[in-house]
Amino acid sequence: MLEPTAFPLTPTTALLSHFRHAYGVWLRMTGELRQPARAIISGVRRAGMTLDVYALNYLPRIPFWRYDLIVLEAAPSAQLAGLIKAVKRARFLSGAPIIVLAPTVEQDMVVAALRAGADAVSPIETSKSVLLAHWDALLRRREASQNAPLRGM
């Protein structure tokens, strides 16, 4: 179980209004959740998002239709082909923003992930408040686009 003190509630996390009613899924390529993934997950949950965590081998059984945000945690030794396959599968099944978090972010991986359908690629060591603010912005844009009137009508 994640301890609630891993990510204290701050004014920054309190302002993440789009997290309150959002559902997210965290897909991990590794066998065990490690820091900083545990801290990020705890922070997202404390900010109000319901966040499910699955191992990537459950990909065919994950109900992507229910999620507002998809986070894919790449393993340190992840093969680029496996990461791209997971991003493409998630994009095929969902219109939700897809964020790839990786231990190291290299140009080839970023380009390939974005071309496969990811909306953002960030190092997992990025400041937690920056990650949460970025994800909140993606959720705001998604909500705005879903509520926008149809053009040309």
Note the pLDDT tens digit of each residue in 90-145: 999 999 999 999 998 999 999 999 999 999 999 999 988 899 888 889 988 877 77
Sorting pLDDT into bands at 50, 70 and 90, what band is 152? low
What's the CA gap between 88 and 78, in Å, rounded?
16
- Residue of 49, 52, 42 lying closest to 8 (CA atoms): 42
**CATH code, 70-128:** 3.40.50.720
Are 103 and 123 in contact, with CB atoms under 8 Å apart? yes
- In percent, the amount of the chain with pLDDT more than 90 equals 43
What's the CA gap between 136 and 112, in Å, rounded?
24
What's the CA gap between 84 and 74, in Å, rounded?
10
pTM of the shown model: 0.83
User: Residue 37 carries which side chain, given as an amino acid letter?
Assistant: A
φ, ψ (nearest 5 deg) of residue 64? -60, -25
- Give me the residue spans of the domains in the chain: 70-128
Instruction: Specify the pairing of strand 120-123 against strand 50-55.
Output: unpaired
Cis status, amide bond into 4, omega within 30 of 0: no
41-60: pLDDT as tens digits:
998 898 888 999 999 888 88
SS3 (DSSP) at 51: strand
Each as own residue / partner, the long-range contacts of residues 94-98 (CB below 8 Å, 24 or more positions apart, any chain) are: 94/64, 94/65, 94/67, 94/70, 96/64, 96/67, 96/68, 96/69, 96/70, 96/142, 97/68, 97/69, 97/70, 97/135, 97/138, 97/139, 97/141, 97/142, 98/70, 98/71, 98/72
Going by the DSSP 8-state scheme, the letter that residue 101 receives in this structure is E
